[in-house]
Amino acid sequence: MHHPAPRHPRLDPLADRYAARTHGMKTSEIRALFSVVSRPEVVSLAGGMPAVTALPLDAVGSMIGELVSGMGAQTLQYGSGQGDPRLRERICDVMALEGITDASPSEVVVTVGSQQGLDLVTRVFVDPGDVVLAEGPSYVGALGVFQAAEARVKHVPMDDDGLIPEALEQALIECRAAGDRVKFLYTVPNYHNPAGVTLSEPRRQAVVEIAERYDLLVIEDNPYGLLGFDREPMRALRARDDRRVIYLGSFSKTFSPGLRVGWVLAPLAVREKLVLATEAQVLCPPSLTQYAVARYLDTQPWREQVKHFVELYRERRDATLESLEALMPPGTTWTRPDGGFYVWLKLPHGLDAKLMQPRAVNAHVAYVPGIGFYADGSGREFMRLSYCYPEPDQIREGVRRLARVIEAELDLHSTFDGVDTGTFRAVSGTQPGIVGPANSDRYEDRA
Ligand code: PMP
């Protein structure tokens, strides 16, 4: 059936009725790029898609088929709001690998990916105007949740060892002085998205001590913790403090993102609120995918599979770092991740990753501009490169193209030196701060 498009899409007749919280919602920098990066000629260093083709697809396929025929109607029925008890037990075994040995299945809530966990935790704790502390930069999907809840995000700087504890303390002191209600610190301690760095051991201790001293709640978001290249998993923050740390986990990176299974580990009183919130949202997490994950953990060599993923990502990380080293013009710097999916790259002085993006897409390479990872519009000189999905040869080609674009940009920049930034922006053809479908359509026209 043909559905006529609205004649005046800009004149939205419901515009004055939307809830105030929708004003904070915007298209993520990553989604805006989707139509571009799926084209075969473009090397995408943009999306953070796990390499699911490395899974034993036949074995997983028959396992899921046998679930329905073997377990029957149960797999197709509603389940508990808190999630399948068997799966929650297995989740506790998984968390023990990161030093969380005292977790009880009763403290676990199964969620539709850790993304839903983030949303639930935010619903339970954040009122409009509350402050959320988050690393600068921060995971774009978390910023989207905080903005939708009308939280005010205050960024805490990081360096190669992760979040800087002194800066965290400083932020807390400033918030106290300003009378702000700080609801929690949101942190990704392992192989940070997008920064690629890991919170060092001494800093873990320092963050937990600050949390204790300032009575600060910490949301520890840890989807990448088992994906370290060179070492055993580090001890989680939650393993050091079971009262002030709420832990978010996910099977998206260790198994499959398409199944959408994650979890929250929280003290019982909080767990109760999370279950009420999830029941209001989705009644219960999907039964079939929970059984699939539980069966996978029970019957498949999943830890060997994680090792296999790690080897594959290590090879891609190496290809990325070697190419950057060989090809990037002076003045470009980047982080050196020892796990996970991401490199955070800083452009030479004066360049702007967002303005440069259309030219990169023309040169058939995609990345995510840094501004998407800040709530305050900063980060223009940064970009995130993901090495998880392309093959090493594609990565090398992508970095080669990117290096050429940056070099051309440097030439252009020196030509325009002295011209005010307004003119420089006009030359690039994008407007600062505008993200979303309008821009992505334009990239499509050009590339
Ligand atoms: N947190 C972080 C830091 C992530 O990188 C992601 C996925 N990119 C998520 C949460 C959400 O993952 P999922 O919902 O698939 O578990």
Q: Where are the domains of the chain?
A: 18-54+304-413+429-445, 74-299
- Say how far apart CA 118 and CA 113 lie, in whole Å: 9
Q: Is the pLDDT of residue 280 over 60?
A: yes
Q: What is the pLDDT of residues 167-199, one digit of tens each?
A: 999 999 999 999 999 999 999 999 999 999 999
- Give the pLDDT confidence score for residue 418 in this predicted structure: 47
- Give the pLDDT confidence score for residue 36 in this predicted structure: 73
The secondary structure element, H or E, covering residue 296 is: helix 287-299
Top mutation candidate among 111, 119, 221, 386 for ligand 1, by most atoms within 8 Å of CB: 221
Q: Is the CB of 48 under 6 A from ligand 1?
A: yes
Identify the burial level of 348 via C-beta atoms within 10 angstroms of its C-beta, where 0-12 means exposed, 13-18 middle and 19 or more buried. middle
Q: Which atom of ligand 1 is nearest to the CA of 192?
A: 3
Give the residue among 293, 284, 287, 311 at the shortest CA–CA distance from 257.
293
How much distance in Å is there from the Cα of 139 to the middle of ligand 1? 8
End-to-end CA distance of the chain: 32
How much distance in Å is there from the Cα of 114 to the middle of ligand 1? 6
How much distance in Å is there from the Cα of 258 to the middle of ligand 1? 12
Top mutation candidate among 112, 146, 193 for ligand 1, by most atoms within 8 Å of CB: 193
Q: 71-86: buried (b, 16+ CB within 10 Å) or exposed (e) per residue?
A: eeeebeeebbbbbbee
User: Helix (H, G, I), strand (E, B), or coil: what is residue 281?
Assistant: helix
Look up residue 295 and give its two tokens.
């069966």
Q: What is the pLDDT of residues 387-415, one digit of tens each?
A: 999 999 999 999 999 999 999 999 988 87
Q: Is the CB of 198 under 6 A from ligand 1?
A: no
- Give the pLDDT confidence score for residue 9 in this predicted structure: 58
CB 135 within 8 A of CB 271: no
Report phi then psi at 174, rounded to 5.
-65, -40
- Say how far apart CA 406 and CA 401 lie, in whole Å: 9
Evaluate whether 18-54+304-413+429-445 and 74-299 have a shared fold: no
Give the residue among 147, 214, 135, 222 at the shortest CA–CA distance from 182.
214
How much distance in Å is there from the Cα of 300 to the middle of ligand 1? 23
- Give the pLDDT confidence score for residue 41 in this predicted structure: 92
Q: Is the CB of 262 under 6 A from ligand 1?
A: yes
Q: Is the CB of 188 under 6 A from ligand 1?
A: yes
The stretch 21-42 carries a mean pLDDT of 76
CB 339 within 8 A of CB 162: no
CB 204 within 8 A of CB 240: yes
Q: Express as a percent the part of the chain with pLDDT over 90.
A: 82
- Say how far apart CA 15 and CA 21 lie, in whole Å: 13
Sign of CA dihedral 189, 190, 192, 197: positive
The whole-model pTM stands at 0.90
CB 90 within 8 A of CB 107: no
CA distances to 61, 255, 292 from 57, in Å: 6, 11, 13
Residue nearest to atom 8 of ligand 1 (CA): 48
Highest average pLDDT, of 14-23, 236-245, 421-430, comes from 236-245
Give the residue among 400, 402, 403, 418 at the shortest CA–CA distance from 350.
418
**What CATH number belongs to 74-299?**
3.40.640.10
- Give the pLDDT confidence score for residue 433 in this predicted structure: 28
The stretch 41-46 carries a mean pLDDT of 95
User: Helix (H, G, I), strand (E, B), or coil: what is residue 193?
Assistant: coil
Q: Does domain 18-54+304-413+429-445 have CATH number 3.20.20.70?
A: no
Q: Which atom of ligand 1 is nearest to the CA of 114?
A: 16
pLDDT-derived band of residue 270, with 50, 70 and 90 as boundaries? very high
- Give the pLDDT confidence score for residue 8 in this predicted structure: 59
Q: Is the CB of 252 under 6 A from ligand 1?
A: yes
Q: Is the CB of 139 under 6 A from ligand 1?
A: yes
Strand 333-334 and strand 342-346: pairing? antiparallel
Furthest-apart CA atoms within the chain: distance in Å: 72
How much distance in Å is there from the Cα of 223 to the middle of ligand 1? 6
Helices (H), ranges, 39-78: 57-71
